[in-house]
Structure 1
Amino acid sequence: MAQEMKIEIVKKETIKPSSPTPHNLRSFKLSLLDQLSPVAYGPLVLFYPNNVSEVTLTEERSHQLKKSLSEALTRFYPLAGRIKDNLFIECNDEGAVYVEARVNALLSNFLDQPNLEILKLLLPIKVESPEAATGCLLLVQASFFECGGLAIGVCMSHKLADASTLSTFIKVWAATALGLGHTVVPDFSAATRYPPRDFSAQSPAAAMEMKIVKRVTKRFVFDGPKMRALKAKVTSGSVQRPTRVEAVTGLIWNCARKASKLSSGISKLSMVSQSVNIRKRVVPRLPQTSIGNLVGYYTAMAEESGIELNSMELVSRLRKGMVEFNEIHSKRLQGDIVFEAICEYFKEIENIMRRDDINLFICTSLCNFGIYEIDFGWGKPIWVNIPFDILKNFASLIDTKEGDGVDAWISLSEEDMALFERDPELLAFASLNPNVFGPVTRRSSL
């Protein structure tokens, strides 16, 4: 089935803001955190069934998407501009890219067992494209299935946007389609808190780089009942109420550690790096609608000391890392030494990634962002996912539709994945690429 599915690009357009950007807003400064962010696009694909009483014409839905996108760009005007010299965005209203595509299959066929390679074709550009640094900052692809189902793929440059920014924009775009776009006011003050630096004389050595290596990426789903069992398993005196993200990250980390040790025959220091939204952790707090890369990272370590570590202990170390970040590192992201603190952190991560004696695992989460509430006027999405697979030893987590589980794409080396996907501890709580619908009967409109 997956090999026969074809996606045909029907048209490609430039969508400009519905109103021109005022002259005094034509230059938008990047923050220091934006400057040091990797050159890549942040992706998201939302799937909507055709659940209207009468089939809405493709042309009508496409027109509504483009019209509301144009109006949303007026409020998020930097997204219609272009980055210059990694210092600022020239807000010249060049616009965003809108791609319309047709899929020669039913949405239910794809959701039976999602195929990552096809999922990536539902995005308007490759995630690793260098265009993220100098080209279009926002690209959208609307892919219409034969049944009337719709996939909306969004790519937003990581040079301006973190996961929170991406979700905030899509929510405003959808609200605009419903005539409610004015209810959210984006905040553009990040560069005031974290002023940019001129790196024209030399490349910012501290900037994160996306080093693409050979890897295998597979999807694992932790549903609600299994999630509750997993949280009970990793509960301890130090972590009495583990979060879903902590529980899943601890289990994935433990199983990946074991797989790496078995496949290589070498015991390495193992570390995990977890992204953290700093908006509510710095003082004074930043608005949740702040636009930019307002993300910090904390690390947890598992040394090979002869003591066998389990998932419960690793969750304790994850919680300790988060507590230390909140108590120590978040304070360094404010005050007079913010530049030194930020660059020091990026250099530390860069050095860790270059070391052969450390096995670094990176985890990012889009859980608890309310993604499944995004409604453009045709109901809420049936599935949302993050087709990001350009790094090895990487996991991207997102909510399941019910909100009580986790849907994860995990990338490992081929040798490690062969052991990881057969780990009994993992399979006690996770299913390998299950049907999105679960045990329920599929709807004919899919």
Structure 2
Amino acid sequence: MKIQITARETLKPSSPTPQSLRDFKLSLIDQLIPPVYVSTLLFYPFINGGTNNHFERSEKLKKSFSDTLTLFYPLAGKTVDNITIDCSDYGALYVEARVDCALSEFLQQSNWDQLGEFIPIKDESTEESVGFFSAVQASFFDCGGVAIAMSILHKLADAATAAVAMRCWAVTTFGSADAAETVVPLYKSAEIFPPMRFFTAGAPPLVDFKKEKLPRKRLVFEASKIAALKALAVSESVERPTSAESVTALIWKCALNAARSNSGVSRPSILIRAVNIRRKIEPPLPDNSVGNLVGFYTAEKDESETELNGLVSELRDKLKLFDNNYVKMLQQEDAFEAVTEYLKASATQMMRHDMEFYICTTWCNFSFYDIDFGWGRPVWVTMGSSGYKKNVIELLDTNKGDGSIEAWVVLSEQDMYLFERDPELLAYASLNPSVLDT
């Protein structure tokens, strides 16, 4: 398969951003997020009766994206400092590509090394090297199918914000005025978590991940298998485990078993899990609230204590502590100092050589499969992460809409070899089944 870039251009908001909105303030959480990109990728099959004129569709996508930038004006901005974004309509990148095969042919294969070619900005890129806060890419297949990708600087957006921005772009393309009203962005993060003026130029990141290409594997957990897994995860402290907790715990357990077998030593482990805090704030914020409204909690277990229900209990206990403390900590007067110490403590644990650490993020329940550009629902949604950070677990919904979960896991070569052959894992997960079969 060959993907050829056929056009690159800068798109600006279709209406100038008012002067009163041009100094956009980041929130405290935005300030603390590393300047990397978050990418979303949606694949749409060709619909009978629709147009297969890629030029016509591309022009429509460009116009609707410019209209979307009018509402999401920070995505077309430039950095002033670690507090302010200059929203003077510098623009966002639009990329067009042609793919010399049918969408079904691509989705039936099992090697995903080319996924990155559908993404306009690679996750490990920096703002300085790219020159844009956001970019989109439309890749047109020979059959009329299309892949739509959006990359946004993480300092401006988390996964929930990316979902809102893509949904707004889709309904603007589709021309559904009623739907567009439901995805108008709400900018309140900096009011709730005011930014702090502190010097960061040249400061090293809290955690300096080693950049190395690592194996990234795809697993699918069917709803019926998750139900059986949840039954095993029940304990006195957690009577009703969630699907995401149960899947996370099983992957954590099997990854730990692989690490222990390879090292020959039983070491403690921590798992850092991302949490959407929109519903944890008082009063709760709606889903269209823009920014990094996300926090992190740390679960810890010794490698000798890896029963599934024990791992789920640890995840739930630490989530409760997070719910009780983290949002309050962000809103106190010395929030920056408190959060920095919290993150430094987590980073110190992560960098310990006598401990295995894992990072888990979940994009479940963000309704990516409801995003319709006028071509119906996407046949597959995935994220643009690449295997450059070890021990990463990423969860998404599947296209079935029945509670099934797709997981992407990044481990070392040695650990992955044992992990993907673990009988307990394979009792509940299918290893890289065809997208068209899930």
Taking structure 1 as the reference length, what is the TM-score of the superposition? 0.93
Is 1:339–2:332 an aligned residue pair?
no
**Equivalent residue number for residue 265 of structure 1:** 264
CA contact (8 A) 1:332 1:338 kept: yes
The DSSP-based 3-state class of the residue aligned with 1:111 is helix
CA contact (8 A) 1:42 1:163 kept: yes
The DSSP-based 3-state class of the residue aligned with 1:333 is helix
For 1:65 and 1:10, how far apart are their aligned partners in 2? Answer: 15
For 1:342 and 1:405, how far apart are their aligned partners in 2? Answer: 35
Query: Match for 1:341: what amino acid?
Result: A
Deviation string 1:208-250 (CA, Å, 9 cap, x unpaired) is: 5554234211111112222222222222232222111101100
CA contact (8 A) 2:250 2:425 kept: yes
Gapped regions of structure 1 (runs ≥ 5): 440-446
**Equivalent residue number for residue 418 of structure 1:** 417
Query: Match for 2:333: what amino acid?
Result: D
The DSSP-based 3-state class of the residue aligned with 2:35 is coil
**Equivalent residue number for residue 240 of structure 2:** 241
Is 1:16–2:12 an aligned residue pair?
yes
User: How far off its partner does 1:134 sit?
Assistant: 7.5
For 1:62 and 1:433, how far apart are their aligned partners in 2? Answer: 32
Q: Which of these residues, 78, 90, 111, is aligned with residue 115 of structure 1?
A: 111
Cα distance change on mapping 1:91 and 1:54 into 2, 3 Å? closer
Q: Which of these residues, 391, 395, 398, is aligned with residue 397 of structure 1?
A: 395
User: How far off its partner does 1:25 sit?
Assistant: 1.1
Cα distance change on mapping 1:21 and 1:209 into 2, 3 Å? farther
For 1:271 and 1:47, how far apart are their aligned partners in 2? Answer: 35
Query: Match for 1:241: what amino acid?
Result: R
Query: Match for 2:125: what amino acid?
Result: S
Greater mean alpha carbon deviation, residues 344-353 or residues 116-125: 344-353
Cα distance change on mapping 1:112 and 1:201 into 2, 3 Å? closer
Query: Match for 2:4: what amino acid?
Result: E
CA contact (8 A) 2:34 2:205 kept: no
**Equivalent residue number for residue 383 of structure 1:** 380
For 2:12 and 2:424, how far apart are their aligned partners in 1? Answer: 51
User: How far off its partner does 1:206 sit?
Assistant: 6.4
Is 1:175–2:174 an aligned residue pair?
no
Is 1:59–2:55 an aligned residue pair?
yes
**Equivalent residue number for residue 281 of structure 2:** 282
The DSSP-based 3-state class of the residue aligned with 2:105 is helix
Query: Match for 2:317: what amino acid?
Result: K
Describe how 1:32-71 pairs up with structure 2 within 5 A.
Answer: 32-71=28-67
For 1:214 and 1:104, how far apart are their aligned partners in 2? Answer: 27
User: How far off its partner does 1:360 sit?
Assistant: 0.8
The DSSP-based 3-state class of the residue aligned with 1:317 is helix
User: How far off its partner does 1:417 sit?
Assistant: 0.3
Tell me the number of residue pairs that the alignment of Structure 1 and Structure 2 aligns: 433
Is 1:299–2:298 an aligned residue pair?
yes
For 2:411 and 2:108, how far apart are their aligned partners in 1? Answer: 24
Cα distance change on mapping 1:177 and 1:214 into 2, 3 Å? closer
Greater mean alpha carbon deviation, residues 140-149 or residues 52-61: 52-61
Cα distance change on mapping 1:83 and 1:202 into 2, 3 Å? closer
Describe how 1:83-232 pairs up with structure 2 within 5 A.
Answer: 83-131=79-127, 135-179=131-175, 180=177, 181-200=180-199, 203=202, 207=206, 209-232=208-231
Cα distance change on mapping 1:45 and 1:302 into 2, 3 Å? same
For 2:268 and 2:347, how far apart are their aligned partners in 1? Answer: 16
For 1:346 and 1:152, how far apart are their aligned partners in 2? Answer: 34
CA contact (8 A) 2:122 2:384 kept: no
For 1:280 and 1:322, how far apart are their aligned partners in 2? Answer: 14
CA contact (8 A) 1:52 1:378 kept: no
CA contact (8 A) 1:176 1:182 kept: no
User: How far off its partner does 1:205 sit?
Assistant: 5.6
**Equivalent residue number for residue 443 of structure 1:** none
Deviation string 1:77-129 (CA, Å, 9 cap, x unpaired) is: 01011112322111111111110001111111111134332111100121100
Greater mean alpha carbon deviation, residues 346-355 or residues 18-27: 346-355
Query: Match for 1:351: what amino acid?
Result: T
**Equivalent residue number for residue 322 of structure 1:** 319
CA contact (8 A) 1:40 1:130 kept: yes
For 2:318 and 2:385, how far apart are their aligned partners in 1? Answer: 25
Q: Which of these residues, 57, 77, 83, is aligned with residue 81 of structure 1?
A: 77
Cα distance change on mapping 1:214 and 1:353 into 2, 3 Å? farther
CA contact (8 A) 2:220 2:406 kept: yes
Cα distance change on mapping 1:345 and 1:353 into 2, 3 Å? same
For 1:165 and 1:82, how far apart are their aligned partners in 2? Answer: 18
Q: Which of these residues, 347, 359, 362, is aligned with residue 362 of structure 1?
A: 359
The DSSP-based 3-state class of the residue aligned with 2:150 is strand
User: How far off its partner does 1:201 sit?
Assistant: 6.6
User: How far off its partner does 1:202 sit?
Assistant: 5.6
User: How far off its partner does 1:279 sit?
Assistant: 1.3
Deviation string 1:358-415 (CA, Å, 9 cap, x unpaired) is: 2110000100011100001110100000131321000111001112111111000000
Query: Match for 1:142: what amino acid?
Result: A
CA contact (8 A) 1:29 1:89 kept: yes
User: How far off its partner does 1:183 sit?
Assistant: 3.0
For 1:208 and 1:107, how far apart are their aligned partners in 2? Answer: 39
Cα distance change on mapping 1:364 and 1:435 into 2, 3 Å? same
Greater mean alpha carbon deviation, residues 151-160 or residues 112-121: 112-121
RMSD across aligned C-alpha pairs, in angstroms? Answer: 1.8
For 1:203 and 1:197, how far apart are their aligned partners in 2? Answer: 17
Query: Match for 1:46: what amino acid?
Result: L
User: How far off its partner does 1:76 sit?
Assistant: 0.7
Deviation string 1:340-364 (CA, Å, 9 cap, x unpaired) is: 2221222122212221112110000
User: How far off its partner does 1:52 sit?
Assistant: 3.0
What fraction of aligned residue pairs are identical, expressed as a percent?
49
For 2:229 and 2:373, how far apart are their aligned partners in 1? Answer: 35
